[in-house]
Structure 1
Amino acid sequence: MPVSIAILVYDGVQILDVSGPAAVFAAANDACATPFYKVHIVSAGGGAIKSSSALDIVSQPIRRLPANAIDLLLVAGGDEDALLQLAEHRALARWLTRASMAAGRYGSICTGALLLARLGLLHGKRVTTHWSACSLLADGFPELAVDDAALYVEDGKVWTSAGVTTGIDMCLAIVERDLGAAAANRIAERLVLYARRPGYQSQFSPLLQARRQADTPYAELIDWMSTHLDEPLDIAQLAARMAMSERSFHRHFTQSVGDTPARFVETLRLDRARNLLLLPYGLKQVAAETGFGSAARLSKAFERRFGISPMLFRQTQRRGVSPE
Structure 2
Amino acid sequence: MSIDEMSYTPERANAEQAPPRTIVFVAYPHIGLLDLTAAQTVFFAANHGLVECGLPGYTLHTASMEGGPVPTAEGLVVETRRLSEFIDSPIDSVIVPGSPQIRQVMADSPALVDWLRVTSTTARRMASVCSGTFLLAQAGLLDGLRVATHWVMADVFERLFPQVELDREAIFVQQQSVWTSAGISAGIDLALALVEADCGREMAMQVARRMVVYYRRPDNQDQWSPLLQSQCPAGA
Give 1:45's aligned amino acid: E
Q: Which residue of 1 aligns with 2:45?
A: 27
How many residue pairs match? The answer is 214
Q: Hey, which of these two has a bigger chunk of helix by percent? A: 1
Between 1 and 2, higher relative CO (CA 8 Å, sep ≥ 6) is seen in 2
Q: Which residue of 2 aligns with 1:76?
A: 97
Q: Which residue of 1 aligns with 2:34?
A: 16
Give 2:128's aligned amino acid: S
Give 2:173's aligned amino acid: V
- Long gaps (5+) in structure 2: 1-18
2:198 to 173, 178, 181: 178
Q: Which residue of 2 aligns with 1:202?
A: 222
Pair 1:103-2:140 in alignment: no
Change (3 A) 1:22 1:156: same
Structure with larger Rg: 1
Give 1:121's aligned amino acid: L
SS at match of 1:69: coil
1:63 to 79, 84, 98: 84
Change (3 A) 1:67 1:53: farther
Shift of 1:159: 0.1
Pair 1:153-2:173 in alignment: yes
Change (3 A) 1:198 1:86: farther
Shift of 1:65: 1.1
Shift of 1:68: 6.1
SS at match of 2:60: strand
Question: Is contact 1:11-1:82 (8 Å) kept?
Answer: no
Give 1:8's aligned amino acid: V
Q: Which residue of 1 aligns with 2:21?
A: 3
Shift of 1:212: 4.7
Shift of 1:82: 3.4
Question: Is contact 1:68-1:102 (8 Å) kept?
Answer: no
TM-score, normalising length: structure 1: 0.63
Give CA deviations for 1:129-160 in whole Å, capped at 9, x if unaligned: 00011111111111111001000000111100
Question: Is contact 1:7-1:40 (8 Å) kept?
Answer: yes
Change (3 A) 1:184 1:123: same
1:125 to 131, 145, 148: 145
Distance in 1 between residues matched to 2:60 and 2:108, nearest whole Å: 22
Change (3 A) 1:129 1:39: same
Q: RMSD value over aligned CA atoms? A: 1.7
Q: Which residue of 1 aligns with 2:5?
A: none
Change (3 A) 1:111 1:67: farther
1:44 to 44, 47, 65: 65
Give CA deviations for 1:87-110 in whole Å, capped at 9, x if unaligned: 423xx3332111112111102100
Distance in 1 between residues matched to 2:201 and 2:63, nearest whole Å: 29
SS at match of 2:106: helix
Give 2:60's aligned amino acid: V
Change (3 A) 1:67 1:12: farther
SS at match of 1:123: coil
Distance in 2 between residues matched to 1:71 and 1:88, nearest whole Å: 23
Give CA deviations for 1:179-228 in whole Å, capped at 9, x if unaligned: 11010001001001034212111111123335557248xxxxxxxxxxxx
Distance in 2 between residues matched to 1:67 and 1:212, nearest whole Å: 51
Q: Which residue of 2 aligns with 1:115?
A: 135
Question: Is contact 2:204-2:215 (8 Å) kept?
Answer: no
Question: Is contact 1:68-1:103 (8 Å) kept?
Answer: no
TM-score, normalising length: structure 2: 0.85
Question: Is contact 1:70-1:102 (8 Å) kept?
Answer: yes
Percentage identity across paired residues of the two chains: 36
